[in-house]
Structure 1
Amino acid sequence: MKILIPFYSTYGHTYQMAQAVAEGAKKVDGADVELRRIPETMPEDTLEEIGALEAQEAFADVPECTIDDLENADAIIFGTPTRFGNMAGQMRQFLDTTGALWQEGKLVGTVGSVFASTATQHGGQETTLRNFHTTLLHHGMIVVGLPYSFSGLTEMDEISGGTPYGATTLADADGSRMPSENELNAARFQGEHVAKITAKQVQS
């Protein structure tokens, strides 16, 4: 059972969430979990100017995602930062190359899920996830979110990400805030939840 986690990350927040998703998925027997990096499209000098070049060194050794990776997966859990209430352009550009998979129905029945990062508490977490789900549904994927059986969704003692559509984290406008333990736990729960559902699909 292959669980693929393709992520795009600018400053490392989505990467940290992807690692937590992988931790959760690996708890399920038979799960072969792989992290894959969505290719960067910004020029290196731009990355350096916005202070992201050094941050991206932390996950530079993660292999880039390919179309074949998607086709060979039983479940795909995508991770993306938010850009104005939608997925990052890097992720959109990558998904726009999956037309051949769509034409041939290669992802029909594949389990799909999404997690995200936003700068602010109301920065488009839910719209990003829901907008992303549209692409998964066009591919015929089985969309899985983050159920309320994860008690952290009702956390009221701290400012925290987390939606029934998928795990999220808050980065702050300057990127200084890293994922909290509650947000990482949400990602772990989502990874395990998706892997359990996928196991049932593979066995049926």
Structure 2
Amino acid sequence: MSNVLVLYYSSYGHIETMAEAVAEGVRQAGANVAIKRVPELVPENIASRSGYKLDQRAPVAEVAELADFDAIIIGTPTRFGNMASQIKNFLDQAGGLWFEDRLVGKVGSVFTSTGSQHGGQESTILATQVVLMHLGMVIVGLPYTFKGQMRMDEITGCSPYGASTLAEDDKQGSRQPSANELDGARFQGRHVAEIATALASGWEQRTQVVS
């Protein structure tokens, strides 16, 4: 059984909702899952005045604990086609784990949210995947076996790079994740957990043969 971390940052709750769906998918695959968030960098008075969702239940993660998991699924909103600074700041502190190869061979995956259909969903996921590859992680996306990403009957997020949702391009993103987008998030969580379990099993068998 693999251990999976869903690590996210969410200003207005969209990524938080997606993270919960991802975690549900992980559980469906029979894996253990923890949902944690990265620290907020925006001062509390400004965040409150801007309407940020400050009552999120997930505990704040510590960088050192990343090495405790077989897979890490990162959720980040887009900021001008890239990951949010809160996520980047957290990952930038993983230099010690990188130096000791602590994340090499672990599964990495990404999901996101943007304010519009062409607001940087794919570029945000790809940019985040680059960081995970530098850490030596095995990248897993959202394969086309999730047929919901090919729907043409409604506006929807999701791509082969990862699950995503579209928030209304207004001040606080009034549109919430759709049923199809949440299905994509659950599929991704389940898919990542299955691959992480298979890889962990393979490494265990290899270790037994070598020893």
Normalised to the residue count of structure 1, the TM-score between the two structures is 0.96
**In 2, Cα distance between the equivalents of 1:62 and 1:121?**
28
Aligned residues: 199
Determine helix, strand or coil for the equivalent of 2:36: strand
Return the match for 1:75 from 71, 82, 88: 71
**In 1, Cα distance between the equivalents of 2:142 and 2:54?**
27
Question: Of the two, which has the highest radius of gyration?
Answer: 2
Matched AA of 1:200: A
1:186 is matched with 184
Where do 1:155-194 residues align within 5 Å? Answer: 155-174=151-170, 175-194=173-192
Q: Identity of counterpart residues, as a percentage?
A: 52
Q: Superposition RMSD on alpha carbons, in Å?
A: 0.7
1:92 is matched with 88
Determine helix, strand or coil for the equivalent of 1:9: coil
Runs of 5+ unmatched residues, structure 1? none
**In 1, Cα distance between the equivalents of 2:143 and 2:169?**
28
Return the match for 1:152 from 137, 145, 148: 148
User: Structure 1, residues 14-69: CA drift from partner, whole Å, max 9, x if none?
Assistant: 0000000000010112x1100001100000111122111xx221x1x311111232
Equivalent pair of 1:21/1:189 in contact (CA under 8 Å):
yes
- Which portions of structure 1, spanning 4 or more consecutive aligned residues, are displaced by more than 2 angstroms? none
User: Structure 1, residues 58-112: CA drift from partner, whole Å, max 9, x if none?
Assistant: x1x3111112321100000000000000000000100110000111110000000
User: Structure 1, residues 157-203: CA drift from partner, whole Å, max 9, x if none?
Assistant: 00100110000001112210000000000000000000000110111
1:118 is matched with 114
**In 2, Cα distance between the equivalents of 1:196 and 1:132?**
22
Normalised to the residue count of structure 2, the TM-score between the two structures is 0.93
Return the match for 1:200 from 195, 198, 201: 198
